[in-house]
Amino acid sequence: VVFETNWCGYCRKMNRSTFKDPGVVERLNELIAVKINAEDDERINGYSGRELASRYGVAGYPALLVLDPAGKVRSRTSGFLGARDFLRWVEAGVKG
């Protein structure tokens, strides 16, 4: 899960670089990857982005979480990650 905001510079940087990297795209296609606007009040499946950010204690952006099937946090980090570091972080979180 990626929590981002419209004003976050590092979020935009990750969208322009990290999330366009072919290796990142390939790996995320194997997972259930979701981007959530942490300041959005629109409800999807009963929750707003703002509510989910609060529920998971998001304080900085981008906030990156690997969740287990029950929604429990297996791994979390925040701030910019380049493609190589992002893939390492995802693998560690998935293997957790």
Let me know: does 38 contact 5? Beta carbons within 8 Å. Answer: yes
**Amino acid residing at 82:** G
How far apart (Å, rounded) are the C-alpha atoms in residues 57 and 95?
Answer: 23
Please give the backbone phi and psi of residue 75, each rounded to the nearest 5 degrees, phi first: -155, 150
pLDDT digits 0-9 by tens, 25-47: 999 999 999 999 999 999 989 99
What backbone torsions phi and psi does residue 11 show, to the nearest 5 degrees?
A: -65, -45
Share of the chain above pLDDT 70, in %: 100
Domain topology for 2-95:
Glutaredoxin (3.40.30)
Say what the pLDDT of residue 59 is: 92
Confidence of residue 88 (pLDDT cuts 50, 70, 90): very high
Averaged pLDDT, 64-77: 96
Average pLDDT on 13-20 reads 98
